[in-house]
């Protein structure tokens, strides 16, 4: 006997399909058995003939039964030893959604933004306008390199704010740094074998390059950025750098070192990947010029993102490719489709064209400077001379060195977790080696000043 449950969210035809399939696989309906006619079974179940016909057609399509003229549906002869074990006879369990991520009252992750910082009203209006204007374009794919309007807006912005010299044809819109670097790795892995990375440095580029078979060559970072003597002596022919605000130490590569790095790249077919991930957030002094702006036609791939100022959830980043890489890019990716939503691209283009982006940058710089200064004050108040702060003055994080503590990183992170404080392990940024002293990475973008003060007050006694 088959039974149907009208309160079960599973469609009735699917309930019937599961029951018949289960009996066939368990052998309770042997090969050659004739199933009731559609009319008979529909009457027996008080169900529509469409329900029974739908279940039978599904079973026939998958080969469990077959139709025979004037005989109805017959159970197929199956190899039960190779057939999957049926679980349909077991009672259905309610669906279990994954548990939400743990909530931290004080989240010092270095890549968090305050939810209140996103310009919801402006974005909604730009999105609605773009939806109305783009209705005819939603039936086909957009430009695989990215919307020209957005690329044009990015080109104009980079020229004004970062001194980057390029044209929109050199810009590729990507879905975050991960995809940006994936594209670069595809372009370079045939002609390069090893990439030099900062140590300590961001772990994501290492993972992307390693997955493409490139050798990872760690190069130490000092107070002036990448150690250029070590780089010159290494086997790396690609250098991935964050020269304007090194991640995680926060140092800035001075102009003399920038010029030396450019000279290194000009010898022997070498190349620089310049990740300018948070250049908008500089709180003191004049903006640091980009490497690309110093050598517009040099062997430099410039990578930027909207994640650190606007929203990491939008997944919009961009590359500026040097002219020699444009032909290989078009050859490798000519059959690819764009990975960033057409509507999101056009919304962002409109957001930039109407001046909202640069106003948003100015506002975020002011807001984040207040948080930056609140963190410095809180560290001074609660840690005093026991801590040394590095990397202040820019970005969304700074580094706290604790030379006098006997506690290790793991011990501090676990104690902080129990108090509702999230810390990202500083050790994750090292390819090899460890910091000279216990070091804590403190991001401040996701909290307001009062929360920063409270979090540091709780954290301080846990570090000693």
Question: The domain that contains 55 carries what CATH number?
Answer: 1.10.10.10
Considering the entire predicted model, what is its pTM? 0.81
Residue 266 included in any domain: yes
Is the backbone of residue 250 left (phi > 0), alpha (psi -120 to 50) or beta? left
248-296 pLDDT, tens digit each? 999 999 999 999 999 999 988 899 999 999 988 999 877 778 999 999 9
Q: pLDDT tens-digit profile of 76-133?
A: 998 766 555 544 445 556 567 788 888 899 999 999 999 999 999 999 999 999 999 9
Q: Is the domain of 3 the same as that of 133?
A: no
Q: Is residue 185 part of a domain?
A: yes
Q: Which segments in the chain show pLDDT lower than 70?
A: 80-95
Structure confidence by residue, pLDDT tens digits, 35-57: 999 999 999 999 999 999 999 99
Are both 242 and 282 inside the same structural domain?
yes
401 and 322 together in one domain: no
Report the domain count for the chain.
3
Q: Looking at residue 88, what is its pLDDT?
A: 44
Give a yes or no: residue 65 inside a domain: yes
Q: Which of 354, 381, 399 is the last residue of a domain?
A: 354
Q: Are residue 253 and residue 345 in the same domain, yes or no?
A: yes
The answer as to whether 360 is a domain residue is: no
End-to-end CA distance of the chain: 70
**pLDDT at residue 95, rounded to an integer:** 62
Residues 376 and 349 in one domain: no
Q: By three-state DSSP, how is residue 442 classified?
A: strand
Domain membership of residue 240 (yes or no) is: yes
Other beta carbons within 10 angstroms of residue 249's beta carbon come to 23
- For residue 422, the surrounding DSSP H or E stretch is strand 421-422
CATH of the domain at 423: 3.90.1150.10
Which distant-in-sequence residues (6+ apart) come within 8 Å of 235 by Cβ? 193, 194, 215, 217
Q: What CATH number does residue 132 fall under?
A: 3.40.640.10
- The answer to whether residues 451 and 388 belong to one domain is yes
What is the rounded distance in angstroms from the CA atom of residue 342 to the CA atom of residue 149?
Answer: 11
- Specify the 3-state DSSP secondary structure of 130: helix
pLDDT for the residue numbered 89: 46
Task: From 299, 325, 354, give the residue that closes a domain.
Answer: 354
pLDDT of residue 140: 86
Domain shared by 86 and 151, yes or no: no
Same domain, 27 and 141: no
| Residues 349 and 407 grouped into a single domain | no
- If asked whether residues 310 and 378 sit together in one domain, one would say no
Tell me which residue range forms the domain holding 448.
106-110+368-463
Is 363 inside a domain boundary?
Answer: no
In a domain, 36, yes or no: yes
Q: What is the DSSP string of 329-383?
A: HHHHHTTPPP-S-HHHHHHHHHHHHTTHHHHHHHHHHHHHHHHHHHHHHHHHHHT
- The C-alpha atoms of residue 353 and residue 152 are separated, in whole angstroms, by 10
pLDDT at site 97 = 78
**306 and 175 within one domain:** yes
Domain end call among 96, 127, 146: 96
Residue 359 lies in a domain: no
The sign one gets for the Cα dihedral 235, 242, 397, 344 is: negative
* 145 lies in the same domain as 287: yes
């Amino acid at each position: 006997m088959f039974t149907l449950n009208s309160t079960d969210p599973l469609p009735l035809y699917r309930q019937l399909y599961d029951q018949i399939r289960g009996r066939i696989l368990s052998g309770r309906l042997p090969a050659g058995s004739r199933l009731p006619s559609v009319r008979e079974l529909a009457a027996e179940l008080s169900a529509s003939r469409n329900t029974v016909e739908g279940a039978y057609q599904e079973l026939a399509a998958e080969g469990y039964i077959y139709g025979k003229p004037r005989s109805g549906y017959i159970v197929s002869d199956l190899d039960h030893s190779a057939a999957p074990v049926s679980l349909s006879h077991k009672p259905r369990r309610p669906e279990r959604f994954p548990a939400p991520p743990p909530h931290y009252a004080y989240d010092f992750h270095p890549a968090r933004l305050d939810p209140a910082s996103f310009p919801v009203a402006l974005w909604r209006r730009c999105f609605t306008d773009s939806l109305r204007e783009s209705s005819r374009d939603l039936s086909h794919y957009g430009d695989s390199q990215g919307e020209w309007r957005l690329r044009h807006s990015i080109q104009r912005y980079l020229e004004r704010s970062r001194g980057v010299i390029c044209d929109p044809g050199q810009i590729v819109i990507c879905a975050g740094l991960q995809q940006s670097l994936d594209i670069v790795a595809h372009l370079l892995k045939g002609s390069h074998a090893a990439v030099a990375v900062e140590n300590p440095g961001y772990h994501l580029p290492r993972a992307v390059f390693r997955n493409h078979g490139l050798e990872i060559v760690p190069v130490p970072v000092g107070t002036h950025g990448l150690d250029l003597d070590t780089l010159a002596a290494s086997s790396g022919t690609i250098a991935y750098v964050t020269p304007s605000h090194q991640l995680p130490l926060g140092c800035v590569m001075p102009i003399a070192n920038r010029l030396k790095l450019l000279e290194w790249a000009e010898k022997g077919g070498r190349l620089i990947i310049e990740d300018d991930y948070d250049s908008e957030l500089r709180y003191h002094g004049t903006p640091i010029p980009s490497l690309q702006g110093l050598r517009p036609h040099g062997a430099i791939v410039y990578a930027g993102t909207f994640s650190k100022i606007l929203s990491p959830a939008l997944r919009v980043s961009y590359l500026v490719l040097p002219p020699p890489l444009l032909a290989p890019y078009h050859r490798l990716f000519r059959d690819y489709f764009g990975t960033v939503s057409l509507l999101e691209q056009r919304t962002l283009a409109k957001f930039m064209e109407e001046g909202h982006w640069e106003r948003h940058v100015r506002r975020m710089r002011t807001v984040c400077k207040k948080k930056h200064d609140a963190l410095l004050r809180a560290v001074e108040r609660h840690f005093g001379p026991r801590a040394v702060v590095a990397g202040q003055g820019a970005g969304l994080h700074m580094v706290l060195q604790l030379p006098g503590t006997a506690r290790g990183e793991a011990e501090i992170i676990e104690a902080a977790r129990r108090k509702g404080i999230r810390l990202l392990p500083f050790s994750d940024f090292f390819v090899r080696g460890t910091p000279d002293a216990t070091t804590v990475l403190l991001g401040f973008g996701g909290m307001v000043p009062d929360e920063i003060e409270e979090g540091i007050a709780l954290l301080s006694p846990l570090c000693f």
